[in-house]
């Protein structure tokens, strides 16, 4: 698609001032479209002689989209268990599959993981595509990309959902490139476009100031990554069952260019935010990094994880692994404590799906109170020790 100027142009200059990008110049009584053009079309209607037109390039798509069907969800595993994000996406994938009149399938890749299929069926899947091999025991870019790509080429899914985790963000784009399709990253909403029947992928754009809805009309599969905790995990039904499709592994050791030498724990359960049921987060209202000890003590007593606002992370009070928000991790615990966090929209976008939000702030007009289920107006250094001690008594009793 391109904006062009025909020979009917009279060089009147009426198009030049309306271009928001300064992409039109008048030379020798002729309008010239420069490389700054974004094809917005603002100039087309202003031309009095109709000399500015939009050319539609013929699309050369050889893909037969009717061959592609079913919704797939990649089930990421950790320590022999499925990660929550895959189970969350099965719940949302079920809605998409039902709306499209197709089946929902989970994709399990690893070694000795067949038992996990029952968790996938319990979360709503009709099928499980299973690939097991010693070479796939641990995630590797080469091994998992080749395996997943072969599954797609063999079974042709219409839609693929992946978690926007470290592994999912590595795997998703590589698969999309191999099979020649697009990928919408870090989605916060999924739906079906009423006009086209395509998956409507919704994600923040321009720093979160707008929400963009993206369609993939010409290529298959339609692919996207979704942040953990954006959707709630469905209530499991262990009476459900389905079909297990075992696919042969074709990846050899020599195909994998990396080798797992050692697993080093750089973070304890206190920063496993995506899986946590209770999160205690601290912000700039803590005033100094030493006061984060109060947040950590409460989290320890409750058996929860420790979060932080971007302001606290930028100040160097906590590592980025703890950051909650639009530019950090999206979480959805049962209980979220916001301690000394004012409630910037970027932070609230990352924790708004929490079941219960408890805010503690000395500013009674802080925006966080508008979202909180419970609020305490007071000094963090006075309130947190009292809360911690009361919870400790309750647990001891």
* Closest CA relative to residue 224, chosen from 199, 206, 204, 205: 199
Q: In this structure, are 207 and 298 located in the same domain?
A: no
For the beta carbon of residue 278, count every other beta carbon within 10 angstroms: 17
Is 327 flagged in the annotation as binding?
Answer: yes
Is 175 flagged in the annotation as binding?
Answer: no
Is 227 flagged in the annotation as binding?
Answer: no
Q: In this structure, are 181 and 286 located in the same domain?
A: no
Is 344 flagged in the annotation as binding?
Answer: yes
Domain annotation covers residue 195: yes
Mean pLDDT within 183-191: 91
Is 345 flagged in the annotation as binding?
Answer: yes
pLDDT-based confidence at residue 59 (cuts at 50, 70, 90): low
The phi, psi pair for 33, rounded to 5°, reads -90, 120
pLDDT for 193 beyond 80: yes
Q: What is the pLDDT of residue 326?
A: 80
Report helix, strand or coil for 244.
strand
Q: In this structure, are 71 and 183 located in the same domain?
A: yes
Which residue range forms the structural domain that includes residue 245?
65-255
Domain annotation covers residue 69: yes
Q: In this structure, are 213 and 117 located in the same domain?
A: yes
With contact defined as beta carbons under 8 Å apart, do 214 and 201 qualify? Answer: yes
pLDDT for 62 beyond 70: no
Q: In this structure, are 152 and 210 located in the same domain?
A: yes
Q: What is the pLDDT of residue 132?
A: 95
Is 358 flagged in the annotation as binding?
Answer: no
The count of structural domains within the chain is 3
Q: In this structure, are 211 and 279 located in the same domain?
A: no
pLDDT for 60 beyond 80: no
- Taking only the tens place, the pLDDT of each residue in 100-132 is 999 999 999 999 999 999 999 999 999 999 999
Q: What is the pLDDT of residue 376?
A: 95
Is 24 flagged in the annotation as binding?
Answer: no
Q: What is the pLDDT of residue 270?
A: 57
Report helix, strand or coil for 160.
strand
pLDDT for 57 beyond 60: no
189 CB-side CA count, 13 A: 14
Is 379 flagged in the annotation as binding?
Answer: yes
Q: In this structure, are 45 and 189 located in the same domain?
A: no
- Taking only the tens place, the pLDDT of each residue in 260-314 is 888 777 665 556 787 788 999 999 999 999 999 999 999 999 999 999 999 999 9
Q: What is the pLDDT of residue 276?
A: 86
Q: What is the pLDDT of residue 138?
A: 92
Domain annotation covers residue 83: yes
Q: What is the pLDDT of residue 29?
A: 86
Is 325 flagged in the annotation as binding?
Answer: yes
Report helix, strand or coil for 245.
strand
Is 169 flagged in the annotation as binding?
Answer: no
């Amino acid at each position: 698609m391109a904006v062009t100027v025909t020979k009917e142009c009279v060089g009147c200059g009426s198009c030049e001032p309306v271009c928001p990008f300064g992409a039109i110049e008048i030379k020798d009584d002729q309008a010239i479209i420069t490389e700054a053009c974004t094809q917005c079309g603002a100039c087309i209607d202003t031309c009095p002689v109709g000399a500015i037109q939009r050319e539609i390039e013929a699309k050369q798509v050889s893909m037969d989209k009717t061959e592609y069907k079913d919704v797939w969800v990649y089930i990421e595993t950790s320590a022999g268990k499925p990660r929550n994000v895959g189970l969350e996406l099965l719940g949302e994938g079920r809605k998409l599959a039902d709306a499209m009149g197709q089946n929902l399938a989970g994709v399990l890749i690893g070694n000795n993981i067949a038992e996990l299929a029952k968790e996938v069926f319990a979360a709503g899947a009709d099928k499980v595509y299973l690939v097991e091999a010693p070479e796939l025991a641990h995630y590797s870019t080469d091994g998992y990309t080749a395996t997943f790509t072969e599954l797609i080429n063999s079974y042709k899914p219409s839609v693929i959902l992946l978690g926007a985790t470290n592994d999912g963000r590595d795997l998703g784009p590589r698969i999309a490139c191999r099979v020649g399709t697009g990928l919408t990253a870090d989605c916060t909403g999924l739906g079906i476009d009423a006009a086209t029947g395509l998956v409507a992928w919704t994600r923040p754009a321009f720093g979160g100031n707008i929400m963009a809805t993206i369609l993939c009309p010409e290529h298959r599969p339609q692919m996207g990554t979704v942040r953990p905790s954006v959707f709630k995990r469905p209530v499991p039904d262990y009476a459900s069952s389905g079909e297990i499709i075992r696919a042969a592994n074709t990846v050899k050791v020599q195909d994998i260019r990396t080798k797992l030498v050692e697993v080093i724990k750089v973070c304890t359960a206190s920063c496993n935010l995506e899986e946590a049921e209770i999160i205690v987060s601290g912000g700039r209202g803590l005033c100094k990094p030493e006061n984060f000890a109060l947040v950590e003590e409460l989290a320890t007593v409750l058996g929860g994880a420790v979060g932080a606002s971007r302001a606290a992370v930028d100040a160097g009070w906590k590592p980025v692994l703890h950051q909650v928000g639009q530019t950090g991790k999206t979480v959805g615990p049962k209980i979220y404590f916001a301690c000394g966090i004012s409630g910037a929209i970027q932070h609230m976008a990352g924790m708004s799906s929490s079941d219960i939000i408890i805010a503690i702030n000395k500013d009674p007009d802080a925006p966080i109170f508008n979202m909180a289920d419970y609020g305490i107006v007071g000094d963090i250094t006075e309130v947190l020790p009292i809360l911690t001690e009361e919870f400790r008594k309750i647990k001891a009793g």
